[in-house]
Amino acid sequence: MHRLHDIAPLVDTDRIANMTGSRTSLRCRVCDSMDMQRVIDLGQQPWCNHFLDKSEIGTEPFYPLSVLFCHTCATAQLDYTVPKEVMFGDHSYRSGTTRTLDDHFRAVADDVDSRFFRHAPRRSVLDIGSNDGTQLRHFRDLGWNVLGVESSAGTAHAANDAGIETIRAFFNARVAATLNRQFDVINAAGVFFHLEELHSVADGIRILLARDGVFVVQFVYMKAIVERGAFDLIYHEHLVYYTLHTLGRLLERHGLELFDAYLSPIHGGSVIAFASHTGGYPPSARLEELRRREVDAQTNTVDTYISFAATIDVAKQRSLNVLTTARQRGRRTFGLGAPAKGNTLLNHFGIGPDLVACLVERNPLRRGLYSPGMHIPIVMEDELQEQPDLYYVLAWNFKAEILSRYRPQIERGVELFFPVDADT
């Protein structure tokens, strides 16, 4: 069993006292340009991962949730930062909860292992934002030396208890300097768009990446978000929304360079991208093809984001029609899943317990809690006493797994409605 390491105090109390959040001066998080335009406004929203106990209902803070478009580098990004200590100091998300995500992480580890450093006598991987160690566990099983860096206290403890050595810290260049070593592979799964200290983190990756090392960055793809209408993936934890073009612009500032990428269905449409020190590997044909598709689809243009904003109102009306019709007909509706992204949707659409009686969840850390903002109670899937007539599926990104697991209920007449099209 490994001891939990704490690099430094994670909560700067003086900083929190003086900063409940900060609106940027409209300077781009990636390129520092001030040529910015607001393209999506989702109003005031609570922090989506702040699930409430009963005593907290009505006391949760709300923050602006708007997306800006940078006319210089085309990066979509939030204009408001909830402090990382608030969002990531201790949270209830666990990456090992769903079979789909666990299978995805196994596939990533197998792919990296088969392509890079397989014959090296000692292979090492660092996972930034390593959560409960699910990704690293698959690397460890393949014989890699593994190390995680995770900011959440309970999550880091869980990883260490499972035998995955994990440092509790917010990764940045200062933390990187303390490690005094380099890694063959550095992984960042679903974390690179969370980063308040974006440039310090990128510098830290450059410092720790071996000369011929590979940086694997897994991120929800903004092109897929737009094409699916998956606006619920916009929330305060996601400060930046990448395409291959915009990620490339960021990495170039730090002596890193994309050389390969592929699409994955995980999280409703993600990219698994591979980077190296500049000039380390030639660009792959599939990376160039994905870049061409971005150009053809005009992904990195402001008009695309303006059109995307208009589809959100259409999605809202569609959901409210389904839910109000069910209520009028005396049909009972439960939400399926209590993902963080679901709270963006529930709050923006104004969906509360009058339309969705409860949220059915598998993560035991959310037992007995309530959704932030709309205060819908959460019930554990294995403790459910009766089935609804309709499930409003907030965890739409796990559609295939849900349809398989809920086949008996569907065969008995329970309907499932997906507010975001997971098949697009």
Encode pLDDT of 259-316 as tens digits. Answer: 999 999 888 789 999 999 999 999 999 999 999 999 999 999 999 999 999 999 999 9
- The answer to whether residue 18 sits within a structural domain is yes
Does 285 reside within a domain? yes
User: Could you report the per-residue pLDDT of 407-421, keeping only the tens digit for each?
Assistant: 999 999 999 999 997
CATH number where 151 lies? 3.40.50.150
Say yes or no: 15 and 121 in one domain: yes
Residue in the block written with tokens 């975001």: 420
Residue 424 lies in a domain: no
pLDDT per position as a tens digit, 67-86: 999 999 999 999 998 876 67
| β-sheet with 378-380: strand ranges across | 378-380, 359-361, 333-336, 390-393, 415-417
Whether residue 218 is found in the same domain as residue 347: no
Residue 109 pLDDT: 96
Considering its fold, how many domains does the chain have in total?
A: 2
**Does any domain span residue 123?**
yes
Q: Give the 3-state secondary structure of residue 305.
A: helix
What's the pLDDT band for 93 if we cut at 50, 70, 90? low
pLDDT at position 266 = 86
- For residue 422, tell me if it sits in a domain: no
Q: Determine what percent of the chain falls in helix, strand and coil, rounding each to the nearest 5.
A: 35, 25, 40
In a domain, 79, yes or no: yes
118 pLDDT tier (thresholds 50, 70, 90) = confident
Q: Which of 295, 317, 339 is the last residue of a domain?
A: 317
Whether residues 202 and 307 fall in one domain: yes
Cβ(68)–Cβ(39) under 8 Å?
yes
Same-domain status, 270 and 350: no
Q: Bigger pLDDT: 19 or 115?
A: 115
Identify the pLDDT of residue 423: 64
pLDDT tens readout for residues 94-104: 555 578 889 99
115 plus 161 within the same structural domain: yes
Query: Where among 288, 317, 346 does a domain terminate?
Result: 317
- Alpha-carbon torsion (271, 272, 275, 279), positive or negative: negative
261 and 381 co-located in one domain: no
How do strand 145-150 and strand 124-128 relate by DSSP bridges? parallel
Q: What is the predicted pLDDT for the residue at 391?
A: 98
Look up tokens 């460890």; give the residue: 140
CATH number at residue 359: 3.40.50.720
Same domain for 113 and 216?
yes
Q: What is the DSSP string of 66-124?
A: EEEEETTT--EEESEE--HHHHHSS----TTSSHHHHHHHHHHHHHHHHHSSTT-SS-E
Print the domain residue range for 345.
318-417
Q: Are residues 294 and 406 in the same domain?
A: no
pLDDT at residue 138 tops 60:
yes
3-class DSSP state of 407: helix
Q: Does one domain contain both 226 and 359?
A: no
Using left for φ > 0, alpha for ψ between -120 and 50, and beta otherwise, residue 348 falls in alpha
pLDDT score of 258 more than 60: yes
**C-alpha span between 220 and 344 (Å, rounded):** 16
Same domain? For 267 and 340 the reply is no
The string of pLDDT tens digits covering residues 218-246 is 999 999 999 999 999 999 989 999 999 99
pLDDT at position 96, please? 52
In this prediction, residue 399 carries a pLDDT of 92
Q: Kindly indicate the confidence band of residue 90, based on its pLDDT and cuts at 50, 70 and 90.
A: low
Residues 4 and 46 in one domain: yes
Cβ of 282: how many Cβ atoms within 10 Å? Answer: 9
Any idea what DSSP says for residue 259? E
Q: Do 246 and 365 fall within a single domain? A: no
Where residue 89 falls among pLDDT bands split at 50, 70, 90? Answer: low
Q: Supply the pLDDT for residue 85.
A: 66
Residue ending a domain, choose from 317, 334, 359: 317
- pLDDT the model gives residue 84: 66
CA distance 332 to 326: 7
